[in-house]
Structure 1
Amino acid sequence: MNLSLNHKVLSEAVAPQEGTTKLAKEAALVVAGILFLAIAAKIKVPMWPVPITMGTFAVLTMGAAYGARLGLVTILGYMIIGALGFDVFAGSSAEKFGLEYMMGGTGGYLVGYVLAVLALGTAARAGWDRSAPKMAGAMLLGNALIYVPGLIWLGMLYGWDKPILQWGLTPFLIGDAIKLALAAITLPMTWKLVNRARG
């Protein structure tokens, strides 16, 4: 297991790495990342037993591509925009948005998003995003970090006598397995394209 945290992440493999141009690049990446998260949250792919939402895929791939530091800035920016009332979350709407939405059933999963971004960013820094099996393992860990606080929050909010796992876990496992496989292929393939372009 490679725990050496000295590998570049994808966002560092392109464009300037120092000076004001680096800051401009990082600012642009944060804005692009927030837009990516907001758009992905609204995408629903028909699937049994529930539609696949692309929000978790976006969170996990962004964390791996950006690294822990830039990924954390991006996900916190996304949360702040959501808290201000903008319709950027999967289930938010004109009627239910902002802090009210964030403190509802989704609240624990949003906390999990932050934890997952840090985990995926750290895994990418260790070079796991260059190998499909290691990326799959990192994605599995990221999904667990989303579900654990999500389910705990549901239990605290609605009571442990309710079918918490049926509400917040089991219907989404098939879709998550598909997204995990997609990310496990996408990140290493992107690295191959980047390395090929750099000669």
Structure 2
Amino acid sequence: MALFTPAFPRVEPLWRWIVPALTSAAFITLGAKLQIPFWPVPMTLHTLAVFFVSALLGPRLGLGAMATYLGAGAMGLPVFSGTPERGIGLAYMIGPTGGYLLGFLLASGLIGWLAMGRGWVGRVLAMLVGLAVVYAAGVAWLAAYVPAHNLLAAGVTPFLLGDLVKVALAATLVSGVARLKAGLK
């Protein structure tokens, strides 16, 4: 009899996707809004939040969280760093930082995939690959706004040290959460 029983894939309830995506998008928003004095420029915790969420949730949920965040921003919610002062919605997204936002979207799925089942070093390497994607998309987009000879000075160099610190911190936080989850089992 079992031979003729159709096998349907188990469908997860919608809330199992919506709740993590919304809470993670809120966390990414918080990271974008928190500014810390740093040298050579003040930094936000945006990269930390995106990379943490991506490595913690995996490729599908990490990408879903980032897409939710970008969707909220596209609808005009002031979720991005410097909003609403520097504009909101699609006008902000097509501005000079639009490539970095696109890079975050691309990197979120990639980091989630590369970091799966990895230890601290593997997570750091996954996040460094993601950071390279963010910088590549960001600089390519920024080229429409900044002369080529100033691209690295405007879009990479001032942020590199802070982003490397955030990568190490994000990998450490994900490792801590993984250890905590393993201890609860």
User: How does the TM-score come out when normalised to structure 1?
Assistant: 0.83
Query: Paired residues, what number?
Result: 176
- Alignment partner of 1:156: what SS? coil
1:197 aligns with 2:174: no
**Equivalent in the alignment of 1:3:** none
Whichever residue aligns with residue 158 of structure 1, its letter is V
Whichever residue aligns with residue 29 of structure 1, its letter is P
**Equivalent in the alignment of 1:178:** 165
Point out the structure with max Rg over C-alpha.
Answer: 2
1:90 Cα deviation (Å)? 0.9
Whichever residue aligns with residue 147 of structure 2, its letter is G
1:133 aligns with 2:138: no
Contact 2:49 2:170 in 1 (8 A): no
What residue ranges of structure 1 are gaps of 5+ in the alignment? Answer: 1-17
Contact 1:46 1:52 in 2 (8 A): yes
User: How does the TM-score come out when normalised to structure 2?
Assistant: 0.89
1:94 Cα deviation (Å)? 4.6
**Equivalent in the alignment of 1:13:** none
Q: Greater CA deviation, 23-32 or 51-60?
A: 23-32
1:75 aligns with 2:66: yes
Contact 1:87 1:94 in 2 (8 A): no
Contact 1:72 1:117 in 2 (8 A): yes
Deviation digits for residues 30-73 of structure 1 (CA, Å, limit 9, x no counterpart): 11011111111000111111112101111111111111112222
Q: Which runs of 4+ in 1 moved over 3 A?
A: none
Identity %: 37
**Equivalent in the alignment of 2:6:** none
Q: What is the alpha-carbon distance in structure 2 between the residues aligned to residue 124 and residue 141 of structure 1? A: 10
1:95 Cα deviation (Å)? 5.4
1:159 aligns with 2:150: no
| RMSD, matched Cα | 1.5
**Equivalent in the alignment of 2:77:** 86
Contact 1:63 1:121 in 2 (8 A): yes
